[in-house]
Amino acid sequence: MKILIIGAGASGLMCAVQSAWLGHEVTVLEHEKHPCRKLNITGKGRCNVTNNCDVQTVMANIPRNSKFLFSALSRFSPEDTMAFFESLGIELKTERGSRVFPVSDNAKDISGALINAVNCADVKIVTDSARSLIIEGGEVKGVLGGRGEYRADKVVVATGGLSYPKTGSTGDGYKLARQAGHTVTELCGSLVPVELCGSDCAQAMGLSLKNCKLTVTDNSAGKPVFEQQGEMLFTHFGMSGPLVLSASAHMQDITAGRYTFSIDLKPALDDKKLDERVQRDFAEVPNRDFDNSIGRLLPASIIPLVIKRSGIPPEKKVNQITKAERAALCSAIHALTFEVKGLRPVSEAIITRGGVDVKEISPKTMESKLVRGLHFIGEVLDADGYTGGFNLQIAFATAYACAQSF
């Protein structure tokens, strides 16, 4: 059978190699000069290739449409992803949070292994851009590219989403889906930096906090939707860093005032211990101005903001600070709050939320229910996961399910 895959990224190449191993004649169209540009930058260049967990845990890390993925994930689980790359000679290791990386810490080893496997299986990679689908009598017959027509029995759209468009994922897959009559659900970024209201956070721009705790509260529901400890970064617009990217996946329909960020700068100390620590620091410099007295407790660039939030006059001598004022200081340190304004654009996101409506796709084969022979895999589908290797796992599992149906 002649298979044409649009996109030489994670899902496209996995589908290509699996299809070729089944004996099909496979061509991949890729509009970038080099395949796997996005894969090469995953996991900060280390590629968190999957998560070493069971299928139920993967499902729990996919906030929407996880049921749709159950069949694919059951047939190509994280264990299968690991076995696949190990069979290609890549040594893997499991880190904190069951995240799996190549031992070399080099994402290019993962993409290199995929490209090598594809080449060894005689898959043809053609540099061209898919412009439109050729559909005749409710069946796909091929693709019209910038340099000509490509006829095939099956066409697989593996074009990725809208995030990091410089890697080649410019959203073409959604246009092709719409051309075929598919619904594309609302598109936005997930795992994306967050904009905060006001200019307070800009004062601490560039500050990277380690071991702080972030709680995100949905004020409309009156409950926290995210609480985790880790690393975050102040920027000119708000906040970024691993903790914030993860938190963004738990927020939706953001309107002013809906979500509040609360940062605990000293999560290891309870109120009593923090107060004791403050008192010890004050006792060492009793005649100093308040704004000059907490340099050992907090990073310099966050101090003006904490002082402002505590309401204590900066020039007040520390030996005159009252118990109530100390309590206000401790609560500013334990709960530095910001109102969320919105998310950064999808181009800055790790993953696209939304995509081809999965109700119109067969979960077993990833085939369109509207056009015979047309398949959608990877990020172009309306399914995305949290950080931890779950998004590549979705790409590989949907690719495998698709290939097995040929």
10 interacts with ligand FAD by CB under 6 A? yes
* Residue 315 host element (H or E): none
The minimum distance between CB 171 and ligand FAD, in angstroms, equals 8
**65 near ligand FAD, rule: CB under 6 A:** no
Residue 250 beta carbon to ligand FAD: minimum distance, rounded to whole angstroms = 17
Which letter does DSSP use for residue 372 in this model?
B
Q: Are 404 and 377 in contact (CB under 8 A)?
A: no
Distance CA 96, CA 83 (A): 20
Does 366 engage in binding with ligand FAD (CB under 6 A)?
A: no
Residues contacting ligand FAD: total by CB under 6 A = 40
* 102 lies in the binding site for ligand FAD (CB under 6 A): no
* 180 touches ligand FAD (CB under 6 A): no
Neighbours of 121 (CB within 10 A): 17
Q: Tokens 């027509």 — which residue?
A: 149
Give the nearer residue to ligand FAD in terms of CB position, either 50 or 293.
50
Q: Is 374 in the site for ligand FAD (CB under 6 A)?
A: no
DSSP symbols for 319-364: GG--HHHHHHHHHHHH-EEEEEEEEPPGGG-SEEE--B-GGGB-TT
Query: What three-state secondary structure class fits 138?
Result: coil
Structure tokens at 388: 């931890």
How is residue 45 written in tokens?
A: 């260049």
Q: Which of 391, 401, 402, 403 binds ligand FAD (CB under 6 A)?
A: 391
Phi, psi of 169 (to 5 degrees): -85, 90
Instruction: Give alpha helix (H) positions in 89-149.
Output: 107-120
Using the minimum distance from each CB to ligand FAD, give the nearer residue, 12 or 142. Answer: 12
42 binds ligand FAD (CB under 6 A): yes
Smallest distance from ligand FAD to CB 167, Å? 6
At residue 53, the 3 state secondary structure works out as coil
How many C-beta atoms lie closer than 10 Å to residue 148's C-beta?
9
Q: Rule CB under 6 A: is residue 129 a binding residue for ligand FAD? A: yes
CB-nearer residue toward ligand FAD: 218 or 379: 379
- Regarding 321 and contact with ligand FAD (CB under 6 A), the answer is no
CB nearer to ligand FAD: pick between 142 and 389? 389
Q: Which listed residue (65, 77, 169, 260) binds ligand FAD by CB under 6 A?
A: 169
By the rule CB under 6 A, 382 interacts with ligand FAD: no
Of the candidates 113, 188, 160, the one whose C-alpha atom is nearest the C-alpha of residue 394 is 160
Closest distance between ligand FAD and the C-beta of residue 166, in Å?
A: 10
Stretch that binds ligand FAD, among 25-33, 54-62, 227-235, 268-276 (CB under 6 A): 25-33
Q: Quick one: how far is CA 223 from the chain centroid?
A: 23
3-state class of 219 per DSSP?
coil
Does 353 engage in binding with ligand FAD (CB under 6 A)? no
Q: Counting contacts by CB under 6 A, is residue 30 touching ligand FAD?
A: yes
Q: Which of 5, 249, 356, 395 binds ligand FAD (CB under 6 A)?
A: 395
In the list 78, 102, 142, 160, the residue contacting ligand FAD (rule: CB under 6 A) is 160
Element (H, E) at 89: none
* Both tokens assigned to 390: 């779950």
For residue 3, the 8-state DSSP code is E
Which residues sit at the interface with ligand FAD, rule CB under 6 A?
6-12, 29-32, 37-39, 41-43, 47-48, 129-130, 158-160, 163-164, 167-170, 172, 350-351, 378-379, 389-392, 395
